Amino acid sequence: MTIEVFIVLGLALLALGLFVTDALPVELVALVVLSVLFLSGILTVEEGLAGFSNEATVAIGAMFVLSEGLRQTGVLEKLTGKLKRLFQTNFSLGLLVMMCGAAFVSAFINNVAVVAVMLPVVLGLAKKIDVSPTCLLIPLSFAAMFGGSMTLIGTSSTLLVSGLITDRGLEPIGMFEVTPLGIALFAVGVIYLMTLGRRLLPDRPVQPEWKERFERPEYRAQIELLPGHDGVGEAPTQFFDEDEEADVIAVFRDGTMLSGALDEIVLRPHDVLRIASSARVVGRLDRSEDVEVLPLKQTLHEEHRHEIEELELFQAVITPSSSMVGKSLRDASFDVQHPAMVVALRRAGEVMVDDLLDVDLRGGDVLLMEAPEQELRRIQQSEDFIVAGEVATERFKPHLLIPVLAVFSAIVGLAALGLFPIVQLAVAGGVVMVLFGALSAEDAYRAIDWQVIFLLGGFIPLGTALEKVGAIELVAHSLVDWLGDYGPLALLAGFYFTTTFFSDLISNQATAVLITPVAIATAVTLGVDPRPFVIAIAFAAANSFGSPVGYHTNVMIYGAGNYRYLDFVKVGVPLNLLFLGTAVVVLPMFWSF
């Protein structure tokens, strides 16, 4: 092997290790890979930047915009709202309809957007019908994955594989080319989740534990700090003695809640403290001469007449693509951007209440926050959070539903007829939606998951480098020597299993980028058609069930559902194996070797 082969294979292994250990953000790993390929001279500037101009990268970015345009019509909220009545009538029927609906919608818009819209509704629904969210959220996430792999545009990994094979001289994947296998896998998945999978789902309560740990005091009150009180000049955290059953939740000055850490605030006369305490402590304060206990909505003294803002207690999930991932609340300047009080953090069943400003955040973390209603609305509209509760939503644009559906229909129809490449249709569709006001240019920019774009921009060139230095042919020949005697079906099963395995550990897009060129080279070495191999990789990358970290929809439900890592292993690994067996049987029926 040449030194270039060693460098590129070593770089691929290093990237894999960084992904698995979560040592660096995925987009930064991709840019590190790209930089090394540049500086080593293995790739030219044109070859290195080709990942950002690749058809798949551009099409995926445009599909994020199209999905946001449909979301802003409010149609998904209307559909999920109807689920509530159905679940209350018949739980099993409601579960089946929820999965079928999530799968159908996910076939045409990005499945991550579908789960983002349905997550708060399903959490609220679970509370109303007194069912643990753990019984509902895995079926929701898995069903969105089933649907996403039914068409070319349902999930980014299928679009990506289509772009990668086009670069290597193969025909792109058709709009409905993958639908027959997608329907077969959907049927297998739904039957599994309605029977054995449903029994394997954990039945773990979320709300009681959340309230017990975070809403410890039973009484809420507001007290005005009068001049001469010993607390003036001190931090709110020093207001109560350690042995008192009370905490300061927030501080208001001139009617506005102060942002920032409580231990960094210096109290002044006439500040209003929102406290959580036992009734005994409130009674003691009421008898004190240097504080005044206020009703929750009471005006202050004549010189400080401002209405105190009512605070809402709510949960917010950190999205996988949030700009706050990898940063602490302090580093992300959360207190500057959002006048909200973070009370606690939950991660994979573990509750944290101390030093919250300095905890590095991850996608799927759940924050318990308290904030004025107006700030809650801002947080709800931020791309960094999914507010996990039934909160009045933003103003939608139902009058634009017909034009938006017309754009989608045109894209699907023209792509199915093969009249235009999907990248041209997706970009044009996104522009049309912005022009007729389905979403603003700013909304379109925010809708794009830039983490995915930079991941692809950095990792597609790695595939090019592996091919350029001969590493792919080396791996392909090794695989043929190992499994070639068992025939192409055994190799196809091997590639499906490998893709599924790595997609459970690292990003499914990165897995597809690394394995697709190897599969094509292996098929060429065997002298068979590469298409069954690349279709298998597209499906395996789009259906990652055995881990909460491999696919964005699993990350989103991980903390919100109070799941543990082994819950996904227990429910997802059998489904991975079922999909593997189904794919091996069905694939050759539609794509011959």
Residue 574 burial (CB count, 10 A): 16
On the CB side of 77, how many CA atoms lie within 13 Å of its CA?
A: 16
Are 379 and 369 in contact, with CB atoms under 8 Å apart? yes
pLDDT of 183 reads: 95
* CA pair distance 64, 68, nearest whole angstrom: 6
- The matching CATH number, chosen from 2.102.10.10, 3.40.50.1820, 3.30.70.1450, 3.50.30.30, for 216-304 is 3.30.70.1450
> How do residues 421-476 score in pLDDT, each as one tens digit?
888 888 999 899 999 888 888 888 888 878 778 877 887 888 788 878 888 777 77
φ, ψ dihedrals at 4, nearest 5°? -65, -40
> Helix-strand-coil percent breakdown of the chain, rounded to 5?
60, 10, 30
User: How far apart are alpha carbons 335 and 266 in whole angstroms?
Assistant: 16
Candidates 325, 329, 327, 333; CA nearest to 369 is 329
What are the beta bridge partners of residue 347? Answer: 350
Q: How far apart are CA 507 and CA 361, in angstroms?
A: 18
Three-class SS of 60-114? HHHHHHHHHHHHCCCHHHHHHHHHHHHHHHCHHHHHHHHHHHHHHHHCCCCHHHH
3-class state of residue 318 by DSSP: strand
User: What DSSP string runs through 162-196?
Assistant: HHHHHHTTPPPPPTTTTHHHHHHHHHHHHHHHHTH
Q: Is the dihedral of CA 159, 163, 168, 174 positive or negative?
A: positive
Start-to-end Cα distance in the chain:
31
The domains of the chain are located at 3-49+450-590, 63-206+422-429, 216-304
What confidence score (pLDDT) does residue 206 get? 53
What gap in Å lies between CA 408 and CA 497, rounded to an integer?
Answer: 34
Q: DSSP letter for 396, please.
A: -
Q: What is the CA radius of gyration of the chain?
A: 27
Torsion, Cα 208 214 219 222, to 10 degrees, reads: -150
Give how far Cα 2 sits from Cα of 6, 14, 42, 459, 469, Å.
7, 18, 12, 21, 8
Please give the Cα distance from 4 to 8 (Å, whole number).
6
Query: pTM of the prediction?
Result: 0.72
For 348-451, where are the E strands, in sequence order?
Answer: 350-352, 366-372, 385-387
If 0-12 CB within 10 Å is exposed, 13-18 middle and 19+ buried, where does residue 247 land? middle
Given the structure tokens 């809640």, which residue do they identify? 257
CA–CA separation, 312 and 340 (whole Å): 10
Residue 213: its pLDDT value, please? 46
Identify how many contiguous H helices and E strands the chain contains and give both numbers: 25, 10
Helix (H) or strand (E) holding 566: helix 565-590
CB 173 within 8 A of CB 158: yes
Which regions in the chain score pLDDT beneath 70?
1, 20, 22, 76-77, 79-81, 205-220, 243, 278-280, 295-311, 348-351, 353-355, 388-395, 550
Q: Which residues contact residue 294 at a Cβ distance below 8 angstroms, ignoring those fewer than 6 apart?
A: 221, 222, 223, 224, 272, 300, 308
Structure tokens at 573: 């690994």
Please give the pLDDT value at position 534.
Answer: 94
Question: What pLDDT score was predicted for residue 297?
Answer: 39
Sheet strands (E) in 321-461: 341-347, 350-352, 366-372, 385-387
Would you tell me how many other CB atoms lie within 10 Å of the CB of residue 83?
20
